[in-house]
Amino acid sequence: MNDNELIARAAEFRRHAYAPYSSFAVGAALLARSGRVYGGVNVENASYPVGICAERAAIAAAVTAGEREFEALAVIADSPAPCAPCGMCRQMLMEFPVARIILANTEGAVRVLTPAELLPHAFGAAALPTKELSDENTDC
Ligand SMILES: [Zn+2]
């Protein structure tokens, strides 16, 4: 799947965005190494901080399905410039690195970045005290 096809998928998902407060609909399409594509949209809430961004929603959907390795993430919105992920989503992307992050807007502008370009000097697991990380530690 090429970048334009992934952007098109993100645009399709975007139609399901729930953005009654900001009217800023965002769609994301996350291409896993398996070849499957997972969608995400922003889902707002009357209690504003409760809402979730499209990028993190896509990552959550993919991880829920058992995916951990990703090729590309496309994000699209009706923004003046290609839609850039917020800081929280940039941090989330460092947890599950994506080779290419494709930013787009509805006018056809596109910018492709690496995770390091999107969030230089990122915080990560390497900064934590040395301890074996395992799936067992992630259970609630
Ligand atoms: Zn975000």
- All structural domains of the chain, each given as residue ranges with its CATH number in brackets, are 3-138 (3.40.140.10)
Residue 121 CB coordination number (10 Å): 5
pLDDT of residue 130: 80
Query: Rounded to the nearest whole angstrom, what is the distance from the C-alpha of residue 7 to the centroid of ligand 1?
Result: 17
Query: Rounded to the nearest whole angstrom, what is the distance from the C-alpha of residue 2 to the centroid of ligand 1?
Result: 24
Q: Tell me how far apart the alpha carbons of residues 105 and 26 are, in angstroms, rounded to a whole number.
A: 10
Tell me, yes or no, if 55 is annotated catalytic: yes
Residue 2 CB coordination number (10 Å): 8
pLDDT of residue 137: 58
**Catalytic member of 12, 44, 55, 107:** 55
Query: Rounded to the nearest whole angstrom, what is the distance from the C-alpha of residue 28 to the centroid of ligand 1?
Result: 11
pLDDT of residue 139: 58
Kindly give the confidence (pLDDT) of every residue in the chain, 140 residues in length, as a single tens digit, with 9 standing for 90 and above: 999 999 999 999 999 999 999 999 999 999 999 999 999 999 999 999 999 999 999 999 999 999 999 999 999 999 999 999 999 999 999 998 899 999 999 999 999 999 999 999 999 888 899 866 666 655 56
Q: Tell the burial category of 107 from Cβ atoms under 10 Å away from its Cβ (0-12, 13-18, 19+).
A: exposed
